[in-house]
Amino acid sequence: MKTDRKLLMLIAVFGLIGLAPMLIAQDSLLNIIIMTLYAALLGQAWNILGGYGGQVSFGHAAYFGTGAYAVAVLQVQFGINPWIGLVAGGIAAAAVGAFIGFCTFRYGLRGSYFALVTLAFAEVLRILSNSVDFTGAGVGLLIPLERSAANFQFVSKEGFFWVIWILTFAAFLTVWKIGNSRFGAQLMAVRDNEDAARALGVDAFRVKMGAIMLSGFFAGLAGVFYAQYFLYLDPHIAYGAAISVESLLVPIIGGMGTLFGPLLGAAFLHGLSELSRAVIGDAPGISLVLYGVLLVIMVLFVPRGLAGLASHLRSGKPGQPRAEEGKGHA
């Protein structure tokens, strides 16, 4: 009954987070929680493909940016309600995932090559959005201010909190479900040893396609939320490397291929950057230096992330790096 305990824990954790608006009056503090949930959503999206599927993506900005541009362009150019844009953004991002997945998995790209190609796709999208008119080209898009719940622009932070709470909770429930499903078992089999999985009759191509589309969908939702929260987009924000890095950093620090890893990673990263801001001040680049140092340290010494660290502290056994447990080579 271990899996049911995970579900109960998930509900309990999100229930506790749901108390935040009642307990916290300051907008600045609530903002940190909103951004943490948003980072957890983005990280969980990456985690589906990278953590559970073993396909390390360097270009998740491709999905994030597509979701963000979808909702913004639909509103600004066509006057379509952003709640419809939320669905459209997720679907558009999943479609981009399907396209990239088809181009890469079809031809058996794996490992570092897959990572580099995803980065190149994100760059192509960045250049395109920088060059065509309906995305506002290099100037970007400003979503007109019109505060109302029907317009996905809440007057108080609390409205945004509940939206991101629901979206992130949905992503985590989906991943819990994946962990208990036939699809999830096949996905992890492909990650651990693709050739062996295929020999056992797993359709690796189809499984990876499913993962990249789901991953793209949730990253697209994060993009939609970002666009509505900040009401401004440009090619560098939407398709820039910073988003791709954040989405892989969160689950790598928290623990790849674990349900709670992205939440741990998001909380840790945002806690750290708030702390560094309080201690060092707003010096340019310093919080990113810390992110880089963390990435190096985690990959070198804690390849299973905070979640892995927690579980082996509990069991009292010395930790083993992921690969030595037989996670296969690319």
Partner 1 sequence: MPDSAIIIPSVLNGLTTGGLYALVALGLTLIYGVLHIINFAHGALLMLGLYAVYFLNVQFGLDPYAALLIVPPAMFALGYALQRGIIGRASHGRDENILLVTLGLSIIIENLSLYFFRSDTRTVDTPYSFDVVEIFGAFLPYPKVVAFVGALMTAALLWLLMSRTDLGRAIRALAKERKGAQLVGINADHVFAMSFGLGIACLGVAACLLLPSYYVNPQVGSGFVLIAFTIVVLGGMGSFVGALIGGLIIGVVEALGGLFLGESLGQIGIFLIFILVLIFRPTGLFGARA
Q: Where on the chain is the footprint of partner 1 (CB under 8 A)?
A: 56, 58, 103-104, 107, 109, 111-113, 115-117, 119-121, 123-124, 127-128, 130-131, 138, 241, 245, 248, 252, 283-286, 288-289, 291-296, 299-300, 303, 321-324, 327, 329-330
Taking CA atoms, 249 is separated from 124, 190, 268, 295, in Å, by 22, 22, 11, 7
Nearest CB to partner 1, comparing residues 8 and 289: 289
Amino acid present at 258: T
Closer residue to partner 1 (CB): 159 or 328 = 328
Q: Pairing state of beta strands 141-142 and 232-233?
A: antiparallel
Rounded to the nearest whole angstrom, what is the least distance from the CB of residue 253 to partner 1 in the complex?
A: 11
Find the shortest distance in angstroms from Cβ 108 to partner 1: 9
Nearer to partner 1, 17 or 117 (CB): 117
3-state DSSP: the chain helix, strand, coil percent, rounded to 5?
Answer: 75, 0, 20
Query: Could you tell me the smallest distance in angstroms from the CB atom of residue 301 to partner 1?
Result: 9
What is the tally of helices (H) and strands (E) in the chain?
A: 15, 2
Nearest distance from C-beta of residue 186 to partner 1, angstroms = 20
Amino acid letter, residue 94:
A
Give the dihedral sign, CA 92/95/97/99. Answer: negative
Would the CA dihedral through 297, 113, 51, 317 be positive or negative?
Answer: negative
In the complex, what is the shortest distance from the CB of residue 292 to partner 1, in angstroms, rounded to a whole number?
A: 3
CA angle 31, 37, 41 (to 5 degrees): 140
Smallest separation (angstroms) from partner 1 to the CB of 54: 9
Residue among 124 and 313 whose Cβ is closer to partner 1 = 124
Nearer to partner 1, 271 or 292 (CB): 292
DSSP structure string for 52-117 = IS----S-THHHHHHHHHHHHHHHHHH---HHHHHHHHHHHHHHHHHHHHHHHHTTT--HHHHHHH
Judged by beta carbon, residue 39 or residue 221, the one nearer partner 1 is 39
Give the nearer residue to partner 1 in terms of CB position, either 142 or 330.
Answer: 330
Q: How far is the CB of 26 from partner 1 (least distance, A)?
A: 29
